[in-house]
Amino acid sequence: MTDFSDLNAGAGGETHQVTDADHPVLTTNHGTPISDNQNQLKVGARGPVLLEDESYREKINHFDHERIPERIVHARGSAAHGYFECTESLSDITVADMFQKKGQRTEVFTRFSTVAGGAGSIDTPRDVRGFAVKFYTREGNWDLVGNNIPVFFIQDAIKFPDLIHAAKMEADRGYPQAATAHDTFWDFISLMPESTHMIMWAMSDRTLPRTFANMEGFGVHTFRLINKDGKSTFVKFHWKPKAGLASTIWDETVKIAGADPDFQRRDLFERIERGDYPEWELGLQLFDEEFANSQPYDVLDSTKIIPEEVLPVKIVGRMVLDRYPDNFFAETEQAAFVPSHVVPGIGFSNDPLLQGRLFSYTDTQLSRLGSVNFHQLPINAAKGRAAAAGSPFNNQQRDGHMQMAVPKGRASYEPNSLAKAGEEAGAREDPDKGYKTFPSDEEGQKLRIRPESFADHYSQARLFFRSMDPAEQAHIASAIVFELSKVSLDHIRIQMMANLRNVDEDLAKRVAAGLAMDLPEASPTAAPVLDMDLSPALRIIRGPLEKHTLEGRTVGILIADGTDAGELNTLKDGIKKAGGQAKTIAPKVGKVPLSDGSSIAADAQLFGQPSVTVDACAVILSKDACAKLVKEGAAVQWVMDAFGHLKAIGHNAAAKPLLDKAGVEADDGVVELGAFVDAAKKRYWDREANVRTLA
């Protein structure tokens, strides 16, 4: 028997013995048996990753080249141009150009994406969202490549191909697309306790964002900021949406996917078109080694957060997206975001997930864009001081597939002295202004191992779940029940429920009850599960970033022949004054006659604009029109969904029969037109217990 009992030694302590009869031996493509498929090769347990790690490089090389030319992950993306404005100088903490002077602006290009689906998938699956920002600084391009969730599924990049292969459509049948509710994903997750914290986020409302403008963004990893004296400060990056956090609920999300697969992309375009520019504040969590060493988790572990109540987020700038791409392919599709692209003043930590990404992303872009010259594409080209001098880059690299520049002169090497002969001088390094790597002390053996400080996989998952609003807890439990109900193998469900007992006993019971299964014994843990102080900052519902407003939001107004013109105009004016967008919706769009003899063209047709596509709903009907619409299924469903999705519903007296037919019950969110504008600024979470069964 081959003993694999130390497979995850120091990585959480979960041991797993596998006999040769159970599984064949894992090998490289050239037949070498692999001793450890869980960890990259590092200098010591917490050290940087070594380039000599052939098994990792072979694995990630193959993965990076699996799709041509579409991105393997984050294929479905939407993007916009804009600017970053520094609102507080960080010149004492970093020499990074964009943080030097209050008021200084830096051009940016930001891409939002889903992870699992292909480029032709929908905008609104339950999925993590990519949040990647390219800063065109004067010292070169900085790519801050993150997600709308601050943690990730895995601790080491060597597991990334396994994660994505498990999440993608199953290899033999080619489905499901852009969905994790299937056997292979949950099989992998159930066997990887380090994923438990991320699963809490993935099953929460965070993976159902209402729009891109309503998402937070995170750099995920711990990075370094480096000042002029060479001093390093650890940093975690946060993007805080000015529009506030807002998500859909599952039934609403499913219906949006059918009504408008491009819902979030369309919203981004329309916001920019009307001048309602999406905006985020950039916040930093800054800390030193002493703080890092004092925490009950490892800041190099990408499955962990630093709660904002422990370390507040310092706001240092804002990002505004004010221009949609001129050409989707040339810009959004050809944009190449690479985490290793940094500028002087920004450095890396030894986070093993980050270390692996520093190699993998460049390799992916070489495959996807087909050339080492992808940096010459306009969307990727630097726009700093070198560009001002006539070229976005200045080096001796030449030729290659799709070379778009025309380098001059004989010398394609450095150093050279041809300037003495009157020829063009070659570029040289700049010891003063050039990029300097932080000279951290590293020592240790070459090992495939994770530090013991990475061993606690459940404490922060427990922190997240218990910090949620009760409504969000119910959504998490119900999402897990839904996903596991799609899993056909009972042993996977059982293992997952055993893991959940380490998160929260009530959560595990709710999931077991929702599946009508017995609750198994809890999984063994590699480290004690801690009861950490709760973090209300993690909430969306009744949390610090939930915003009761109509700014940037759309109100659907259902009208028909004979609608009272005065009521309609008064409501539209009130919505506009509150910063919202009024969208009139009617059975027929061409010409809707109003009560005063005038007529208007409706903005949308009832059958093509269901209430899931707007943020609040009003119904202004004549008595005769209402009598017709109570017999129209689309109208009844329009109101029924608005009520079921916890939205405000405003109505005039004549529309009351339609609300009754739709099963609308009186509550604080069902109001007459005069009170509607204020009511429309929020959702009514207390209604949920009356309209659906949750775990």
Give the DSSP H or E segment for 480: helix 470-485
User: Does 548 participate in catalysis according to the annotation?
Assistant: no
Contact 459, 532 (CB under 8 A): yes
Number of Cβ within a 10 Å radius of residue 417: 10
Nearest of 374, 379, 272, 269 to residue 330 by alpha carbon:
379
308: which 2 tokens?
């904002």
Q: What Å distances lie between residue 176 and 52, 89, 170, 185, 632, CA to CA?
A: 37, 48, 7, 11, 34
Which of 74, 81, 475, 645 is the catalytic position?
Answer: 74
- Tell me the C-alpha distance between 13 and 454, whole Å: 10
| E strand or H helix that includes residue 574 | helix 565-577
φ, ψ of residue 280 to 5 degrees: the values are -135, 150
Spatial CB neighbours of 688, under 8 Å, sequence gap ≥ 6: 249, 471, 474, 646, 694
Cα separation, 564 vs 653, in Å, equals 11
The verdict on whether 16 is a catalytic residue reads no
Percent helix, strand, coil in the chain (nearest 5)?
Answer: 30, 15, 50
Inter-helix orientation angle 490-500/505-515, to 10°: 160
Q: Tokens at residue 443, please?
A: 């020592």
Pull the structure tokens for residue 598. 């005038």
- Tally the residues of the chain: 695
Cβ atoms of 269 and 324 closer than 8 Å: yes
- Which residue out of 8, 39, 141, 147 is catalytically annotated? 147
Q: How far apart are CA 306 and CA 295, in angstroms?
A: 9
User: Left, alpha or beta for 444 (phi > 0: left; psi -120 to 50: alpha)?
Assistant: left
DSSP 628-683: HHTT-HHHHHHHHHHHHTT--EEE-GGGHHHHHHTT---STTEEEGGGHHHHTTS-
For residue 144, what are the β-bridge partners? Answer: 133
Contacts for 265 with CB less than 8 Å, ≥ 6 apart: 78, 123
- d(Cα 531, Cα 322) in Å, to the nearest integer? 44
- Phi and psi of 651, rounded to 5°? -155, 155
Rounded to the nearest 10 degrees, the angle between the axes of helix 470-485 and helix 505-515 is 40
Region at 409 (left for phi over 0; alpha for psi -120 to 50; beta for the rest): left
Q: Of 152, 151, 137, 74, which Cα lies nearest the Cα of 342?
A: 137
| Distance separating alpha carbons of residues 233 and 438, to the nearest angstrom | 10
Catalytic residue IDs: 74, 147
